[in-house]
Amino acid sequence: MPGYFAPDSVAVRVMTNRAVGLTYGQRALIVGALNPRLYLGTMAHTRHRDTPYRRLMLTARLFETVFLGDRAEADRALAFTRRRHAPVSGRLAEDAGPHHPAGTPYSAADPHLMFMTMAFAFDSVLAMQELLVRPLSGTEREQLYQDFVHWGELFGMPRRAAPADYPTFRAGFDAYLASGEIYLTDEARLVGSYLAGAKRGDYDVSLALRPLFRAMDVVVRGSLPARVRALYGFEWTVRDRVSFPAVVAGTRTLYRRPPRLAPRPLAPVVKGRNGELFKLVARAERRELARGRLSMPDVAG
């Protein structure tokens, strides 16, 4: 059964790049935490405060399924998301900058917040595609943007909530990130620091996965706009300045011209869905929690 997106669509071609699928979610959450209504509204209703990576992995799997799954798989993911979002509504319990005083309303059904969720995801997918795989042409960017608008509509976003085309989106989104409207709460700063690998929890990933996750961390931090890095207070060390271009160049080479010693065939390594890795990370987090070790010790509770 075909899915909602054609196999030759730009969205499917981009989302099947594992380098994109493994990194855009962290980046989207880090940048998205600058929107207090999205961040505080989500955290007020989350079931995963003690298992934040399970939440991240679940969200990534749902998003991936809607893009890459068949129609039945996608419909199940959409129905699950609608059930989870139904009770997400309220008012901010704290001041979150001059634009978001305590009492500011939020709702998962708010068309603008739906658009912002789509915007953070799209911006991060595009950023990681162009950083780690190859730049898109102007036509491809437009097609990818329109695919994401359709994706947002599948989750309930009205079409009118999104700008009509990519150039209008780009100008508006960049202006938003440069404005005084964005604000980082203390908790959002902590969570983003863990997601970016600037802070570590009570445990670490297995030795086998550690190089992959360290590379992902430095790529995510390096991909952030300078203002976002500054708001979080992320340091950009000499080691980062050396490792970031090396990881980027190495990853792009795998997609452009695989080295002679790379495994053959390489396509299953660099292309495909990441659901099994997402499940692995979520299971590991649950095991560590059962042992009393937390992913984000000063956030959970």
Residue ranges of alpha helices (H) inside 137-264 are 138-154, 166-178, 186-195, 210-223, 226-232, 238-256
The one-digit pLDDT tens for each residue of the chain (301 residues) are 689 999 999 999 999 999 999 999 999 999 999 999 999 999 888 877 789 999 889 999 999 999 999 999 999 999 999 999 999 999 999 999 999 999 999 999 999 999 999 999 999 999 999 999 999 999 999 999 999 999 999 999 999 999 999 999 999 999 999 999 999 999 999 999 999 999 999 999 888 889 989 999 999 999 999 999 999 999 999 999 999 999 999 999 988 876 665 556 666 778 999 988 888 889 999 999 999 999 999 886 5
End-to-end CA distance of the chain: 43
Q: DSSP string of 149-176?
A: HHHHHHTT--GGGS-SSHHHHHHHHHHH
Count the neighbouring beta carbons within 10 Å of the beta carbon of residue 163: 17
Domain ranges of the chain: 10-290
Count the neighbouring beta carbons within 10 Å of the beta carbon of residue 31: 23
Q: Provide the 8-state DSSP code for 87.
A: T
